[in-house]
């Protein structure tokens, strides 16, 4: 029976853990393509998207955004709070704030604010983010929370936002901000709404735990909070403090950690009340996690709860505390950025080369000609019980070390070195053909898959945090995966490879995929990239922004492409390191003048360089020369 008949879309779905990480937004269709699933059973075939993108003249890589997923996420979070509030008779309501640091791209922010389900406010953490917010909010539903350290200019901008009619909370992160707010609001004749960020002692385990706990960077500790209260009294500003805020950190894997922090926060809330302040709003920050590793566990890149559990926990904790202490219920703000945006964006790219392990060509009689040490070790290894993989792997390590020593001492020539390498490969292959276990898996022969993208630009958290993202072919999923591959990017950096993949409830150091006849047919999808990756991405090796595109489906099942943003071209990258296009052309002209080439040759070369300056920074199709993506 051929592979096509035994492997199904369902097996592919399970193999790549799609139901776990995708939260229902991605699936495999009957053709073996990955599809994006939207409400009302509509699906967008990613292979068709790739075709349409190429027809529009874009080459890969392309970052694809699905605005309808963003809207669905807002609906899911909003509905979860509505339902929890109704069930628990929580009457003071909830509003989603979008922390724009997570992804400030215009189209993302506009899609979030224009969603038809729930009004959403913005949270900003710097002066420039505040100016960005000015580009979006209108006075009718312009809710703005200003976090982050603030100078006088930031504070004046925030006060001016209030003069424009926006509802602005200026959150005190640090005591010195209060006096500046007081001076400037007097001068501008504005009555500011203040929030205070409190620093909790509770910590949520994870990569971002420094946002919480005693050593947190932001927020007032108990001592400073008392001083702040005192200062508000001195200013007779008790009525200005209307909001309390805390943020425990991003990607909180255990809801129990978050609930513990919220309990502590509620006691602080109670204390502020006891000091005579009436807080109407409680901002519980972000932290709602995404299951990147598809493990459904407490690992840093996973989670053990869903949006609905989170909403129930927030409403229950706040409601119960207020009922017990007979305090009014605050209106709740949440600032979940990752959970809102991660699913909506993914990268499609192509494999440029698949370097397979060479065919194993090991002849047993070679051993007789080797150095005595290697001969003995090889014989011991061949006599071993192949089911004791730990023992045999240790011996292979010793063999490898001794072979290296002998080569470095000049006692093993290149021919014998090739033979010993083949021997190692032969044994590892024999081991992995037994029942796979961790030891064998570690050494299972695998190919190197060179892909047309930069990890540093498109998935910087792989490099910075060893983060795991769901990665899989978007095509050929009706074929049983038959080869292990390690993905490498285009950068000349040994860190430019992916060494950890979500795999069958664990992680693996290779990605198992189906080897097509021509590796260039392999299309890969990198998922859950909508949060933080775009904005943290950098220009290592001068690979720039990729092309981006919004993809939606209409009521007639037509795929609509919009907001096509061409990626960076070479001269834009050069400008970021202060090398002008003119400098490049002038220097080339000088060199060509000295090289005494004909005018015809000079013009030809300069034209090609000019085209290259206006072309994509990623690899183009092999059958064309420099291809301009932007005009001049």
- Considering only residues 110 through 129, tell me which ones interact with ligand PLP, judged by CB under 6 A: 123
For residue 544, state whether it binds ligand PLP (rule: CB under 6 A).
no
Q: Does 209 bind ligand PLP (CB under 6 A)?
A: no
User: Cβ closer to ligand PLP: 123 or 177?
Assistant: 123
Give exposure, 378-397, as e/b (b: 16+ Cβ within 10 Å): beebeeeeeeebeebbeebe
Comparison of 143 and 510: residue with beta carbon closer to ligand PLP: 143
Q: If we measure between CA atoms, which residue out of 146, 120, 278, 162 comes closest to residue 218?
A: 146
* Complex with ligand PLP: residue 16 or 98, whichever CB lies closer: 98
Residue 212 binding ligand PLP, by CB under 6 A: no
Q: Which is nearer to ligand PLP, 47 or 288 (CB)?
A: 288
Among residue numbers 309 through 338, which ones bind ligand PLP (CB under 6 A)? 335-338
Stretch binding ligand PLP (CB under 6 A), from 279-287, 356-364, 419-427, 556-564:
279-287
Q: Residue 284, Cα to own-chain centre: how many angstroms?
A: 23
Task: Kindly tell me which of 101 and 444 has the beta carbon lying closer to ligand PLP.
Answer: 101
| Cβ proximity to ligand PLP, 102 vs 113, nearer residue | 102
Closer by beta carbon to ligand PLP, 102 or else 551: 102
Q: How far is the CB of 292 from ligand PLP (least distance, A)?
A: 12
Q: How far is the CB of 405 from ligand PLP (least distance, A)?
A: 50
Q: Least Å distance between CB 457 and ligand PLP?
A: 20
- For residue 445, the minimal CB distance to ligand PLP (Å) is 39
> Quick one: 68 or 211, whose CB is closer to ligand PLP?
211
Q: How far apart are CA 334 and CA 337, in angstroms?
A: 9
User: Which residue's CB is nearer to ligand PLP, number 35 or number 244?
Assistant: 244
CA dist., res. 64 & res. 534, Å (int): 12
CB-wise, 148 or 567, nearer to ligand PLP?
A: 148
From the CB of 287, what's the least distance to ligand PLP, in Å? Answer: 5
Contact 457, 546 (CB under 8 A): yes
DSSP string, 28-65: E-TTS-EEEE-GGG-EEEHHHHHHHHHHTTPPSPEEEE
| Cβ neighbours around 176 below 10 Å, total | 10
x/- site string to ligand PLP, residues 82 to 111, per CB under 6 A? -----------------x--x---------
Question: Is residue 247 part of the contact set for ligand PLP (CB under 6 A)?
Answer: yes
CA–CA gap between residue 196 and residue 173 (Å, rounded): 7
How near is the Cβ of 138 to ligand PLP at its closest, in Å?
A: 23
Nearest one of 2, 1, 31, 32 to 15, comparing CA atoms: 32
Closer to ligand PLP by CB, 535 or 595: give it. Answer: 535
Q: CA-CA distance, 503 to 505, in Å (whole number)? A: 6
String marking each residue 396-415 x if it binds ligand PLP according to CB under 6 A: --------------------
Please give the Cα distance from 14 to 6 (Å, whole number): 14
The CB-of-135 to ligand PLP minimum distance in angstroms stands at 20
CB 147 → ligand PLP: shortest distance, Å?
Answer: 5
- From the list 283, 301, 282, the residue with the least C-alpha distance to 532 is 301
Which residue is at the shortest CB distance from ligand PLP? 286
Q: Work out whether 458 is an interface residue with ligand PLP (CB under 6 A).
A: no
Q: Which of 248, 151, 258 shows the shortest CA–CA distance to 198?
A: 248
Among 17, 103, 147, 253, binds ligand PLP (CB under 6 A): 147
In the complex, least distance from residue 247 CB atom to ligand PLP, rounded to whole angstroms: 4
Q: In terms of Cα–Cα distance, which of 326, 216, 226 is closest to 272?
A: 226
Work out which of 251, 452, 533, 615 binds ligand PLP, going by CB under 6 A.
251
Task: Quote the distance between the C-alpha of residue 260 and its chain's center.
Answer: 27
**Phi, psi torsion values for 517, nearest 5 degrees:** -60, -40
CB of 206 to ligand PLP, least distance (A): 10
Residue 192 or residue 206: which is nearer to ligand PLP going by CB?
A: 206
Residue 250 is a binding residue for ligand PLP (CB under 6 A): yes
Least distance between ligand PLP and beta carbon 353 (Å): 36
288 touches ligand PLP (CB under 6 A) = yes
Q: How far apart are CA 7 and CA 28, in angstroms?
A: 13
Rg, the chain, Cα only: 29
What tokens does 290 get?
A: 């995404």
Q: How far is CA 430 from CA 390, 482, 509, in A?
A: 14, 16, 19
Kind of pairing, strands 497-498 and 501-503?
Answer: unpaired
Stretch in the footprint of ligand PLP (CB under 6 A) among 48-56, 285-293, 295-303, 609-617: 285-293
Q: How many residues bind ligand PLP (CB under 6 A)?
A: 17
The CB-of-317 to ligand PLP minimum distance in angstroms stands at 18
Q: Is 401 exposed, middle or buried (0-12, 13-18, 19+ CB in 10 A)?
A: exposed
Q: Which residues of 518-536 are buried (b: 16+ CB within 10 A; e: fewer)?
A: ebeebbbbbbbbbbbbbeb
| DSSP states along 508-528 | ESSEEE---SSGGG-EEEE--
Nearest residue (CB) to ligand PLP, 32 versus 249: 249
Residues that bind ligand PLP (CB under 6 A): 99, 102, 123, 147, 211, 247, 250-251, 285-288, 335-338, 531
């Amino acid at each position: 029976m051929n592979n096509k008949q035994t492997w199904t879309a369902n097996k592919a779905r399970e193999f790549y853990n799609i139901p776990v990480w995708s939260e229902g937004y991605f699936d495999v269709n009957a053709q073996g393509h990955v599809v994006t699933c939207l409400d009302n059973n509509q699906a967008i075939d990613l292979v068709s998207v790739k075709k349409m993108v190429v027809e529009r003249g874009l080459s890969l890589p392309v970052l694809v955004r699905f605005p309808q997923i963003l809207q669905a996420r807002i609906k899911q979070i909003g509905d979860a709070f509505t339902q929890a509030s109704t069930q628990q008779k929580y009457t003071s309501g909830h509003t989603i704030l979008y922390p724009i640091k997570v992804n400030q791209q215009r189209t993302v922010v506009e899609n979030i604010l224009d969603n038809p389900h729930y009004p959403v406010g913005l949270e900003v953490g710097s002066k420039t983010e505040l100016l960005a917010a000015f580009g979006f909010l209108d006075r009718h539903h312009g809710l703005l929370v200003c976090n982050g350290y603030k100078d006088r200019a930031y504070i004046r901008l925030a006060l001016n936002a209030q003069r424009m009619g926006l509802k602005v909370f200026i959150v005190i992160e640090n005591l010195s901000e209060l006096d500046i707010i007081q001076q400037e609001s007097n001068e501008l004749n504005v009555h500011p709404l203040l929030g205070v960020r409190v620093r909790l002692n509770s910590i949520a385990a994870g990569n971002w735990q420094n946002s919480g706990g005693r050593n947190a960077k932001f927020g007032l500790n108990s001592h400073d909070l008392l001083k702040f209260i005192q200062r508000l009294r001195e200013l007779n500003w008790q009525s200005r403090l209307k909001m309390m805020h805390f943020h425990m950190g991003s990607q909180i894997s255990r809801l129990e950690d978050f609930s513990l922090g919220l309990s502590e926060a509620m006691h602080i809330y109670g204390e502020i009340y006891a000091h005579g302040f009436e807080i109407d709003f409680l901002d519980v920050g972000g932290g709602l996690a995404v299951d990147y590793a598809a493990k459904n566990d407490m690992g840093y890149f996973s989670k053990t709860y869903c949006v609905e559990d989170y909403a129930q926990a927030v409403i229950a904790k706040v409601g119960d505390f207020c009922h017990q202490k007979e305090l009014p219920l605050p209106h709740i703000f949440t600032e979940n950025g990752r959970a809102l945006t991660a699913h909506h964006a993914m990268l499609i790219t192509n494999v440029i080369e698949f370097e397979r392990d060479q065919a194993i060509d090991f002849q047993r009689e070679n051993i007789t000609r080797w150095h005595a040490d290697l001969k003995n070790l090889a014989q011991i290894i061949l006599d071993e019980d192949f089911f004791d993989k730990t023992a045999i792997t240790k011996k292979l390590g010793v063999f490898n070390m001794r072979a290296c020593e002998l080569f470095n001492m000049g006692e093993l020539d290149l021919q014998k070195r090739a033979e010993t390498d083949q021997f190692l490969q032969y044994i590892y292959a024999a081991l992995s053909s037994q029942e796979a276990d961790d030891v064998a898996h570690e050494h299972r022969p695998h190919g190197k898959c060179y892909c047309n993208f930069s990890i540093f630009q498109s998935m910087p958290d792989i490099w910075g945090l060893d983060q795991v993202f769901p990665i899989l072919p978007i095509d050929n999923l009706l074929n049983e995966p038959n080869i292990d591959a390690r993905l490498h990017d285009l950068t000349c950096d040994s860190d430019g490879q992916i060494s950890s993949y979500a795999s069958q409830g664990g992680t693996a150091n290779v990605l198992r995929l189906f080897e097509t006849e021509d590796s260039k047919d392999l299309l890969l999808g990198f998922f859950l990239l909508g949060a933080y990756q775009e904005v943290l991405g950098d220009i290592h090796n001068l690979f720039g922004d990729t092309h981006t595109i919004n993809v939606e489906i209409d009521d007639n099942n037509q795929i609509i492409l919009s907001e096509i943003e061409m990626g960076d071209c070479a001269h834009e990258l050069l400008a970021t390191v202060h090398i002008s296009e003119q400098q490049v052309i002038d220097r080339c002209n000088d060199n060509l003048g000295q090289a005494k080439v004909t005018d015809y040759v000079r013009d030809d070369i300069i034209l090609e360089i000019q085209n290259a300056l206006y072309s994509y920074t990623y690899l183009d199709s092999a059958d064309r020369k420099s291809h301009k993506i932007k005009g001049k």
